[in-house]
Structure 1
Amino acid sequence: MAFHYLLLFALLNLRLQCSAQRYLVSLGAGSHGAVPEEDYWKSVFPNTPMPKALRDLLPLAASGTKNMLADMVKDDKKPTDGFGNYAYSDPSKEFKGSKNMLGDMVKNNDKVVDDRANYGYGNPSKEFADGNAPTNKDVYFFESELHPGRTMILKDLTKKASKATFLPRSVAESIPFSTQKIPEILKYFSLEAKSAEANLLKETIENCERPALGGEEKYCAKSFESFVDLGVSKLGKNIQLLSNELEKETQNQEFTIGQGVKMMGESEIVCHKMKYAYAVFLCHSIDKTAVYTVPLVGADGTRARGLAVCHKDTSTWNPKHLAFQILKVKPGTVPICHFLVRETLVWLPN
């Protein structure tokens, strides 16, 4: 396995070497040593600092390193969250891990399939098949329950974030990303067709290509620039980027809603970080969906700001979706809410 990991690392580094060199040359042209993504942000939002949640996804720190791509592979040993992953997977076929970057994602992945954002697809009958939901009643809830004093188990607010970052745009655009090119992609990453890692890549690509539901617009962003371009093209430049905020790392999962719950609007674009070898976001906007910022206080005193969304029209959802099973309601009858997981980002008009 160690040899396989080193081979994967070497092949990936070799394939991307030319693109990486061009990228590093471009760093010298940036203002005051800024990486190209920082310059791009300033060109679009000259008076707005880049949010930390987005800065953490930059492909290279301002100081720079020629081992950028190598570090990306070596350090990516945590899974991306399953929430927002439009999964078709079956928990009974949970992947077994290996020591390469995708294998580590697989190995550490919770044995929970959450179709929280997969309203019309997926396999709702198998969600939380291992019985390991923190408490199902906290996964989905009614809008009237989003009030100060309510205590909830928010496991995925405290789960450590994946270290997968964006690739430079030129590099990301040079790598195939299509179900029609799966064999080429697997060859690129030196993966066996029937491996767990191959299944992980395939599922993410399939989720990006799935048809949109009624009232939904969707798009997968595979670079920093395409992520920014999406927000601007849909909402204009007078926008803000919201993220979950945690005061400090904590093992505590019990939080109480504090004063100051605020409805931010209904014109948001919610972007879910997908499971992939580098940062890929599935972004979508759904009609009649409100986003809230929610002050939270943990049982250990940790303060946080969570993002929650309430879907006011669920008429196009799969009737067997977990939300209806938990809340014992039918599609299209009442608004249904849920918190967004830690790595989710939301574009919203100012």
Structure 2
Amino acid sequence: MARSLAAVLLLLVAAAGASHAASPAEMYWKIALPTSPMPGAIRDLISPASSVGSASKEDTLGNVFFLEKDLFPGSKMTLHFTRATAGAALLPRGRAESVPFASERLPEILSQLSIPAVSPTADAMWSTLAECEAARLAGETTKHKHYCATSLESMVEFVASSLGTRDVHAVSTEVISTLTPTPRQAYRVEAVRPVAVPGGDMVACHGMPYAYAVFGLHGLKGAAYTVTLAGADGTVAQAVAACHGDVDGHGAVAEAYKRLGVAPGSVAICHFLPQDDMIWVRN
């Protein structure tokens, strides 16, 4: 098996040299997920955006919740599409695993990556490490395991383990706009299409601010939709909406039930995914 995989890799490298230089992530994707289209969230990491939108925590898409019944053509809502990981490098697994990933070793990490100890990047990295460590401890005692992936390879392996198969694919939000970043503005729902979610099982993958690409993953049950949105300034988004009712380990979801005036877990509530988040499902 190892020899055949190596042979495939050599063929891919040769083909890349004949056309264009494929990145390690592109070559890995072709081997691991040959029939699954690469989502925009991964493509954007291979060819990073030149700028990144910033927003307060309360202004992010993940904190704009709505009921599933309100997701229909003609409905309107105010949204702000931002990124947490734009410009971050997607490291090959070997390189990512050569760098420590623990809050108690942050000074060593900063030194290894040549990042000033007193800087916004260092502060963001500390917050992400703390969140990943807290999520890992919570995942050991709850039904939905949490994991922070520091490479595409570790992400795909976690997804395959959680969904019980490597026959999977990912969907992510994609935005077409002449403005970067896009402003907070009113959007009109133009179309709603369900994403096939066998068994209702999904793995959510959230981009996290760090010196390189890091993703927080966790399993959940629910539904997903691809929603065409038209912005007031002409922006068009093919946004992924995740709808779920679990509150275990998700403080923002529990708070959303209060804001929407419904009993926790009684109905599914929905939110749109930022451009650097993904939903993984079985094919």
Q: Bin the TM-score by the shorter chain.
A: 0.7 to 0.9
What SS class does the counterpart of residue 227 from structure 1 fall into? helix
* Mapped contact 1:269–1:283 kept (Cα < 8 A): yes
Paired position in structure 1 for 2:225: 292
CA distance in 2, matches of 1:165, 1:239: 24
Paired position in structure 2 for 1:155: 80
- The structural deviation recorded for 1:255 is 1.5
TM-score, length-normalised on structure 1? 0.64
CA distance in 2, matches of 1:191, 1:245: 31
Q: Which runs of 4+ in 1 moved over 6 A?
A: 26-29
More strand by percentage = 2
Residue 245 of structure 2 corresponds to residue 312 of structure 1: yes
- The structural deviation recorded for 1:155 is 0.9
Paired position in structure 2 for 1:37: 25
- The structural deviation recorded for 1:198 is 2.6
Equivalences for 1:118-267 in 2 at 5 Å? 128=58, 133=59, 139-156=64-81, 162-191=86-115, 195-210=119-134, 211-212=137-138, 214-235=142-163, 236-250=165-179, 251=182, 253-265=185-197, 266-267=200-201
Residue 199 of structure 2 corresponds to residue 268 of structure 1: no
What SS class does the counterpart of residue 95 from structure 2 fall into? helix
CA distance in 2, matches of 1:320, 1:260: 22
CA distance in 1, matches of 2:268, 2:37: 35
Alignment CA distance shift 1:43-1:176 (3 Å): same
Q: Aligned pairs, how many?
A: 260
Paired position in structure 1 for 2:6: none
Give the percent of matched residue pairs that are identical in Structure 1 and Structure 2. 37
Alignment CA distance shift 1:39-1:179 (3 Å): same
Alignment CA distance shift 1:317-1:78 (3 Å): closer
- Bigger mean CA offset, 310-319 vs 265-274: 310-319
Q: Which has the higher contact order (CA 8 A, sep 6+)?
A: 2
CA distance in 1, matches of 2:170, 2:61: 30
Unaligned runs of 5+ in 1: 1-25, 62-71, 80-108, 114-127
What SS class does the counterpart of residue 240 from structure 1 fall into? strand
Q: For residues 200-233 of structure 1, what are the alpha-carbon distances to aligned partners after superposition, in whole Å with 9 as ceiling and x for unaligned?
A: 1111011112133533222111112222323333
What SS class does the counterpart of residue 30 from structure 1 fall into? helix
What SS class does the counterpart of residue 153 from structure 1 fall into? strand
Unaligned runs of 5+ in 2: 1-8
Answer with 1 or 2: which has the greater Rg: 1
What SS class does the counterpart of residue 305 from structure 1 fall into? strand
* Mapped contact 1:141–1:337 kept (Cα < 8 A): yes
CA distance in 2, matches of 1:212, 1:31: 45
Q: For residues 219-261 of structure 1, what are the alpha-carbon distances to aligned partners after superposition, in whole Å with 9 as ceiling and x for unaligned?
A: 1111122223233333323222101122334446322112333
Alignment CA distance shift 1:295-1:319 (3 Å): closer
Whichever residue aligns with residue 160 of structure 2, its letter is V
